[in-house]
């Protein structure tokens, strides 16, 4: 995810200061890693340097002075271009889960690999139950539901892969001992 592009998108609705942007990010992308305030302000500084946002005012409610930012025309164009770009499917398998399963199969032997695959499958199922509870709870926002559906889809794909790999452990064992 590009934090800069997400902040541009959040600013598309009008001027905001960093605290509002951080809160909006965490609210609108509920399953994403929360942004740190320092990351928000560092990104805003780069966006301002690059002419994508400008300061639009200062306000001081009950705390420190806060600078609001708004999109420039160049910022709107950059956001539009980014939104029109199709994300290519990942060319490499970079999942820690994949790497750990392969290493477990190679280094620990098939019995330990079976145990790991079974434990990992149980952890995925537990997370799917948590996500299902999140999306079906009273008061769940559309953002909560969309984020949960996205995560469940990925977990479901992982579960299918874990099951297939578990079924192939015996074949791998034969291959390794031949």
One domain, residues 65 and 108: no
Domain termination residue (choose one: 33, 59, 84) = 84
50 found inside a domain: yes
91 found inside a domain: no
pLDDT in tens, 108-148: 667 777 888 888 899 999 999 999 999 899 998 888 899 89
- For 8, the token pair is 């541009």
State the Cα–Cα distance between residues 96 and 79, nearest whole angstrom: 31
53 found inside a domain: yes
Q: Taking a C-beta distance cutoff of 8 angstroms, is the pair 56, 68 a contact? A: yes
Residue with tokens 């200062």: 58
In this prediction, residue 71 carries a pLDDT of 94
Bridge partners, residue 70, by sequence: 54
One domain, residues 76 and 100: no
Confidence of residue 1 (pLDDT cuts 50, 70, 90): low
pLDDT in tens, 61-90: 666 778 899 999 999 999 998 888 877 766
Segments in the chain forming alpha helices (H):
3-11, 18-28, 37-49, 73-84, 96-103, 110-136, 142-177
In this prediction, residue 176 carries a pLDDT of 64
Helices and strands counted in the chain (H then E): 7, 3
Q: What is the CA radius of gyration of the chain?
A: 22
Domain termination residue (choose one: 84, 118, 138) = 84
How many structural domains are present in the chain?
A: 2
Contacts of 176 (CB under 8 A, 6+ apart): 106
One domain, residues 74 and 100: no
State the Cα–Cα distance between residues 167 and 114, nearest whole angstrom: 9
One domain, residues 149 and 113: yes
Domain that holds residue 7: 3-84
- For 93, the token pair is 């398998």
pLDDT in tens, 29-48: 777 788 888 999 999 999 99
State the Cα–Cα distance between residues 126 and 81, nearest whole angstrom: 39
**Stated pTM of the model:** 0.66
């Amino acid at each position: 995810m590009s934090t800069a592009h997400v902040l541009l998108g959040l600013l598309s609705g009008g001027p905001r200061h960093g605290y509002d942007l951080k809160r909006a990010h965490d609210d609108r992308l509920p399953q994403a890693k929360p942004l740190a305030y320092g990351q928000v302000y560092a990104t805003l500084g780069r966006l301002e340097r690059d002419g994508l946002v400008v300061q639009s005012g200062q306000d001081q409610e009950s705390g420190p002075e806060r600078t609001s930012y708004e999109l420039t025309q160049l910022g709107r164009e950059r956001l539009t271009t980014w939104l029109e770009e199709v994300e290519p499917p990942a060319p490499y398998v970079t999942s820690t889960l994949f790497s750990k399963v392969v290493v477990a199969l190679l280094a620990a032997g098939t019995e330990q690999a079976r145990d790991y695959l079974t434990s990992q499958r149980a952890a995925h199922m537990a997370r799917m139950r948590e996500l299902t509870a999140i999306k079906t709870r009273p008061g769940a926002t559309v953002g909560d539901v969309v984020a949960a559906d996205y995560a469940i889809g990925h977990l479901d794909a992982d579960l299918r892969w874990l099951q297939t790999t578990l079924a192939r452990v015996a074949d791998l064992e034969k291959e390794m001992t031949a």
